[in-house]
Amino acid sequence: MADLNPINAWRRMLALPNESRTKTVVIAFLVSGICALMVSGATVLLRPIQTMNRAAEQQARLESLVAGIPGMSALLQQSGGRLGTVVVDLARGAAAADVTPETLPAALDDSANWTGLEQSADLAGLGNRPNYVQIYLLRNDSGDVSLAILPISGSGYNGPINAILALAADMTTIAGLAITEQSETPGLGARIEEPAWLSQFPGTKVADASGDIRFAVARGASGNEYEVDGITGATRTSNAITRMVRFWLGPDGYGPLISAIQRGEY
């Protein structure tokens, strides 16, 4: 009767000469099995650490990107919290269902993902507006949105003006503005990049209690909480900033998103 004791079977296998094909196959199978178990075990044990590392890496990339915008680094440090990003479907004011930050450039190469603007609605002079925009949200320890960082753009006196507008938690108060691109007249309209002028924006209200957008760059000194001082000799550039901010905070821009944030949907 055959000996079915596994210990004795193992001893007999080890007693075989090293040149034995059976011994070679068995040892190779056992070694590969043990290695597979070790790799699987390491994967399970390290998965939480890998997830944390990926999250930390993404957080660092986001903070580095936003901190590279003039004036935003100090604003983030002052506000505190955790920065995240999302691609927004502007028409719905909700996160895009099938567009991510990675696929956004390809999506915007498709003309179908742009909306033509009627002249009466095109305050910023864009002609057409992307359907999807990547924004950044800073959240406090409770998970509530404490800062929304929104790209805005418009037509200036000499060419396009691109900027980043930061709104405080109430979504009606400006936390900061940074100009990222402009070609306005040096010494006049180009002064929109000067820190002294931009320092007026934090604390400025953009909408009243009824939700009407009232922000404006004044002709001269500001006269109320919705205005910032104008730039002498740069009326057209000042008006361009007014129209740009009003457009992007209105119904064809971030209006639906702002309402969703105020309702606590983010």
pLDDT tens per residue across span 129-141: 999 999 999 888 8
Q: What's the pTM value of the predicted model, to 2 decimals? A: 0.73
Q: For position 11, what pLDDT does the model report?
A: 75
Q: Is the CB of residue 123 less than 8 Å from the CB of residue 242?
A: no
Question: Any idea of the CA torsion for 66, 68, 72, 76, to the nearest 10 degrees?
Answer: 60
Residue range of the domain that includes 32: 6-57
Is 214 a domain residue?
Answer: yes
Co-location of 26 and 82 in the same domain: no
What's the confidence (pLDDT) of residue 39?
75
Q: Is 248 a member of any domain? A: yes
Give pLDDT, residue 51.
47
Residues 101 and 53 in one domain: no
Rounded mean pLDDT, 206-211: 92
Considering the domain architecture, whether residues 143 and 166 belong to the same structural domain is answered as yes
Mean pLDDT of the residues in the chain? 85
Please tell me the predicted confidence (pLDDT) of residue 241. 97
Give the angle 13-20-10 at the CA atoms, nearest 5°: 5
Which segment of 72-86, 92-106, 160-174 scores lowest on mean pLDDT? 72-86
Judge residue 213's burial from the number of C-beta atoms within 10 Å of its C-beta, 0-12 exposed, 13-18 middle, 19 or more buried.
buried
Q: Which of 20, 37, 57 is the last residue of a domain?
A: 57
130 phi/psi in degrees, rounded to 5: -65, 145
**Is 159 domain-assigned?**
yes
Residues 151, 24: one domain?
no
Boundary residue ending a domain (57, 77, 96): 57
**Selected residue with higher pLDDT from 78 and 48:** 78
**Structure-block tokens of residue 214:** 């009232």
On whether residue 166 sits in a domain, the answer given is yes
Domain co-membership, 248 together with 169: yes
**125 within 8 A of 118, measured Cβ to Cβ:** no
Structural domain includes residue 133: yes
pLDDT higher than threshold 60 for residue 107: yes
Residues 50 and 77 in one domain: no
188 lies in the same domain as 132: yes
Do 50 and 83 reside in the same domain of the chain?
no
**159 and 244 both lie in a single domain:** yes
Kindly state whether residues 13 and 90 are assigned to the same domain. no
Phi and psi angles of residue 18, each rounded to the nearest 5 degrees, phi first: -60, -25
Instruction: Clarify whether residues 100 and 20 are in a common domain.
Output: no
- 149 found inside a domain: yes
| 42 lies in the same domain as 171 | no
Within-domain flag for 62? no
228: Cβ–Cβ under 8 A, 6 or more apart, which residues?
A: 197, 200, 201, 204, 217, 218, 222
Residue 55 has pLDDT above 50, yes or no: no
Provide the domain count of the chain: 2
